[in-house]
Structure 1
Amino acid sequence: MNEYEVKVYEEVEEWKRRLIRRSGMMNRLSKKAQVKINEWIPDKVHEMMTESIKAMVKATLFGSQLTTSKVQAIPLSLAERDELVQKKISVYQKTAIVEGAGTGAGGILLGLADFPLLLTIKMKFLFEAAAIYGFDTKKYEERLFILHVFQLAFSSDEIRKNTLSEIEHWEHRKIELIEMDWRKFQQEYRDYIDLAKLFQLVPGIGAFVGAYANNNLLKILGETAMNAYRLRLLQKAPEQ
């Protein structure tokens, strides 16, 4: 292994340690409140929301597949792939900022439109990242991996630990994983972004909040995707 791969391995190990640390008290209290609210929501409503988000995500996956470049066929070093992904993160952050500011400035109606628009931006980025790291997104297991990366970025402590374990052992786990747990997927995602996006609906500050929140969410997703794919490429510790 070269010097850069050794450095990346150490960065990935530190990222994993940060991921499994317990969240702060405010985040834990917010999660408890959201769990309680979810318990009050009738099952039929949960089922409707789950099916709606499932359909939205699958449509986004299909659209992203059609537009993803074929860069995975190009032989690149890990350093070159990382550099390309960093540039993609920057581009998608700027796109998300514009989208968040625009929908935030439009009040409640446009604020509601932010959810599918931002979801599309995130999924498109994940397809681009997968392609850059050399993974074929035409394969079902790679699209399933993308959903796991998404869930890893936007979930609570327990789900995050479980998802990280599945990603770490993906080559074995992918055989067993036939479908996502869509109810868990949508609840974790909604709970994660609810507080971050709540004030986007408030007139006067919505544009600022939307831009700030979207930028931060893409930053989190970008770091998660980079390290998840690095983790797959560096399955064992490089020799010093």
Structure 2
Amino acid sequence: MTNSETTEFLKTELKQIQHWENDQKDLFFWEKLGRLPFVLLDRITPKFIQNKIGTALDELGSYIQSGGRYLISKEQMYRKFFPDASRNEEPDLERIGQLPLTTQDKMADHIMETSSNSATVQGATTGFGGIFTLAIDIPLLLGISLKALQEIAISYGYDPTEQSERIFIVKCLQFSSADIVGKKAILEDLASFHSGEKSSQVMSQLQGWREVMMTYRDNFGWKKLFQMIPIAGMLFGAYLNRSTLKDVSETGKMMYRKRRILEKLNEANESEKGPLE
């Protein structure tokens, strides 16, 4: 913990995150309604699009197990924090974790903005062709979401190449599109990471990861409805992609920020106790 981060400051920041968590448990009516078209549209969606969605879900399972093609470069992110670092220098994510919270927040905010912009452009592009380009849009949006969450993880000093962190990232992805009951359950799962218990229980819960990610798929209900109209789908595609990335990256920032604050508070408590005599 840096000298500028007092215990009181960290506790105040933690309360703000807890307030945000409480707000997330209130699901607006239009968000519930947004999942309804999926059941109807599933019957009229061309088979090749349904297959593409299934492939995206399979790739997510591969990401949990091995990282697959979605893993990002830790070296590039590390040099954003330390531009003078040698190209041969092994990224020290613990060093990032020791940086002031404001520095970590600044990088996370930058990632949120750039990823949202990328998703907006992509949504407008794929929305131009109507429902048929949704087969392209869903895997691309999944990739942007995972990339943003991994970069946010590194921004707070956590290693997304570790399987436990990949599980945490998928839980964040699930949280951003879950209903009220789902959000409460996911927050309980994520609490095991905050308490340092990490993997065994949460990993066993994710054995049924296909069911876990159905909420992510259902979140495309309105998008599929509006993308049935070519050209008009550009506007809805851009808006919905941007809002999706905003929700995903905000969740990632809040959850990783909470972990880092709790660890800093724990370090402060340990230092106050001092060495045993």
TM range (shorter): 0.7 to 0.9
Q: Does 1:172 align with 2:197?
A: yes
Contact persistence 2:175–2:251 (CA under 8 A): yes
**AA at the equivalent of 2:21:** K
Counterparts of 1:35 and 1:112, CA distance in 2: 15
Tell me what 2:46 maps to. Answer: none
Q: Does 1:109 align with 2:112?
A: no
Counterparts of 1:167 and 1:204, CA distance in 2: 40
Counterparts of 1:86 and 1:164, CA distance in 2: 22
For 1:1-240, list aligned pairs within 5 A: 1-2=5-6, 4-21=9-26, 23-28=27-32, 31=35, 33=36, 52-58=55-61, 61-68=67-74, 69-71=76-78, 72=93, 73-74=95-96, 75-170=98-193, 171-172=196-197, 174-179=199-204, 180=206, 181-235=208-262
Counterparts of 2:34 and 2:236, CA distance in 1: 19
Q: Give the 3 Å change call, closer, same or farther, for CA 224–55 of structure 1 in structure 2.
A: same
Shift of 1:56: 1.9
Shift of 1:230: 1.4
Shift of 1:155: 1.2
Contact persistence 1:153–1:224 (CA under 8 A): yes
Deviates more, 1:164-173 or 1:118-127: 164-173
Deviates more, 1:60-69 or 1:75-84: 60-69
1:5-34 CA-to-partner distances (Å, cap 9, x unmatched) read: 34421220111111223x234444555x47
Shift of 1:209: 0.7
Counterparts of 1:28 and 1:13, CA distance in 2: 23
Counterparts of 2:225 and 2:57, CA distance in 1: 22
Shift of 1:236: 8.3
Equivalenced residue count is 230
Deviates more, 1:126-135 or 1:104-113: 104-113
Shift of 1:108: 2.8
Gapped regions of structure 2 (runs ≥ 5): 44-50, 79-92, 269-277
* Percent identity over paired residues: 25
Gapped regions of structure 1 (runs ≥ 5): 41-47
Contact persistence 2:131–2:224 (CA under 8 A): no
TM-score, normalised relative to structure 1 = 0.83
Contact persistence 1:168–1:231 (CA under 8 A): no
1:10-68 CA-to-partner distances (Å, cap 9, x unmatched) read: 220111111223x234444555x479769x9xxxxxxx889634422245642232434
Counterparts of 2:238 and 2:52, CA distance in 1: 25
Counterparts of 2:11 and 2:188, CA distance in 1: 22
Q: Note the aligned Cα RMSD (angstroms).
A: 3.0
Counterparts of 1:124 and 1:108, CA distance in 2: 25
Counterparts of 1:78 and 1:237, CA distance in 2: 9
TM-score, normalised relative to structure 2 = 0.72
